Amino acid sequence: MSADHTAPGEAGALPRRPTVADHIVSRLFSWGVHRYFGYPGDGINGMTSALQRTNGRAQFIQVRHEETAGFAASAHVKYGGGPLGCALVTSGPGAIHLLNGLYDAKLDHQPVVALVGHTATTAEGGGYYQEVDLLALYKDVAAAFLAQLDNPAQVRHLVDRACRTALARRTVTALVLPLDIQDEPAVPNPPHAHGYYQTSNAPSSTPTVPPEADVRRAAEVLRGGQRVAMLVGQGALGARDEVREIADRLGAGVATALLGFTAVDHREPWVTGAIGLLGTRPSWQLMSGCDRLLIVGSNMPYSEFYPPPGQARAVQIDLDGTQLGLRYPTEVNLTGDARPTLRALLNELGPGPGPTAWRAEVTETTSAWRQVQRDLAEQNADPVNPQLLFHTLNERLPDDVLLAVDCGTTTAWYARHIQVRPGMLASLSGTLLSMGGAMPYALSAKFAHPDRPLVALIGDGAMQMNGVNELITVAKYWRGWADPRFVVLVLNNRDLAFVSWEQRSTEGTPMFPDSQQLPDIAYHQWAEVLGLRGELIDSPEQVRDVWDRALTADRPVVINALVDPAELMLPPHFTAEQARKTAAAVLRGDTDWAGIIRRGLPATVASYRPRRRER
φ, ψ of residue 19 in degrees (nearest 5): -95, 175
Please state, in angstroms and rounded to a whole number, the distance separating the CA atoms of residues 163 and 28.
8
Please state, in angstroms and rounded to a whole number, the distance separating the CA atoms of residues 366 and 368.
5
Find the helix or strand (DSSP H, E) in which 114 lies.
strand 112-118
pLDDT tens-digit readout, 395-420? 999 999 999 999 999 999 999 999 99
Closest CA to 255 of 289, 209, 221: 289
Please state, in angstroms and rounded to a whole number, the distance separating the CA atoms of residues 413 and 376.
11
Closest CA to 311 of 285, 283, 290, 286: 290
Return the biggest CA–CA distance within the chain. Answer: 80
Tell me the Ramachandran region of residue 109: left when phi exceeds 0, alpha when psi lies from -120 to 50, beta otherwise.
Answer: left
Please state, in angstroms and rounded to a whole number, the distance separating the CA atoms of residues 345 and 349.
6
The pLDDT of residue 14 is 43
Please state, in angstroms and rounded to a whole number, the distance separating the CA atoms of residues 114 and 112.
6
The pLDDT of residue 8 is 40
The pLDDT of residue 3 is 41
User: Where in 323-465 does DSSP place strands (E)?
Assistant: 332-335, 402-405, 425-428, 454-459
The pLDDT of residue 15 is 56
Closest CA to 293 of 216, 384, 218: 218
The pLDDT of residue 594 is 55
Buried b (16+ CB within 10 A) or exposed e, 536-555: bbeebeebeebbeebbebeb
CA 503 from centre of chain: 25
pLDDT tens-digit readout, 439-453? 999 999 999 999 999
CA 9 from centre of chain: 41
The pLDDT of residue 598 is 55
Residues with Cβ within 8 Å of residue 237, at least 6 apart in sequence: 260, 262, 263, 297
Q: What is the dihedral of CA 209, 211, 216, 222, to 10 degrees?
A: -50
The bridge status of strand 486-492 relative to strand 454-459 is: parallel
Please state, in angstroms and rounded to a whole number, the distance separating the CA atoms of residues 581 and 575.
10
pTM to 2 decimals?
0.92
Buried b (16+ CB within 10 A) or exposed e, 56-71: eebebbebbbbbbbbb
DSSP state string for 119-186: --TTTTTS--TT---HHHHTTTTTTT-EEE--SGGGHHHHHHHHHHHHHHHTSEEEEEEEHHHHTSBP
Closest CA to 257 of 283, 293, 291: 283
| Surface-to-core class of residue 355, CB atoms within 10 Å of its CB (0-12 exposed, 13-18 middle, 19+ buried) | exposed
- C-beta of residue 41 within 8 angstroms of C-beta of residue 65: no
User: Where in 233-346 does DSSP place strands (E)?
Assistant: 253-256, 271-274, 292-296, 313-318, 332-335
The pLDDT of residue 590 is 59
The pLDDT of residue 12 is 40
The pLDDT of residue 568 is 79
Give the angle 44-49-50 at the CA atoms, nearest 5°. Answer: 100
Residues with Cβ within 8 Å of residue 610, at least 6 apart in sequence: 368
Please state, in angstroms and rounded to a whole number, the distance separating the CA atoms of residues 93 and 90.
8
The Cβ of residue 477 has, within 10 Å, a number of other Cβ atoms equal to 17
SS percent in the chain: helix, strand, coil, step 5: 45, 15, 40
Q: What is the CA radius of gyration of the chain?
A: 26
Bridge-partner residues for 230, per DSSP?
254, 294
**Residue 18: DSSP 8-state:** P
Q: DSSP H helical segments within 44-133, as ranges?
A: 45-52, 66-78, 93-107
Is residue 496 helix, strand or coil?
coil
Q: Domains in the chain, start-ordered, CATH in brackets?
A: 10-183 (3.40.50.970), 212-363 (3.40.50.1220), 379-608 (3.40.50.970)
CA 159 from centre of chain: 26
Bridge-partner residues for 19, per DSSP?
185
- C-beta of residue 68 within 8 angstroms of C-beta of residue 94: no
pLDDT tens-digit readout, 63-113? 999 999 999 999 999 999 999 999 999 999 999 999 999 999 999 999 999
Instruction: Name the stretches of the chain with pLDDT < 70.
Output: 1-15, 501, 504-507, 573-615
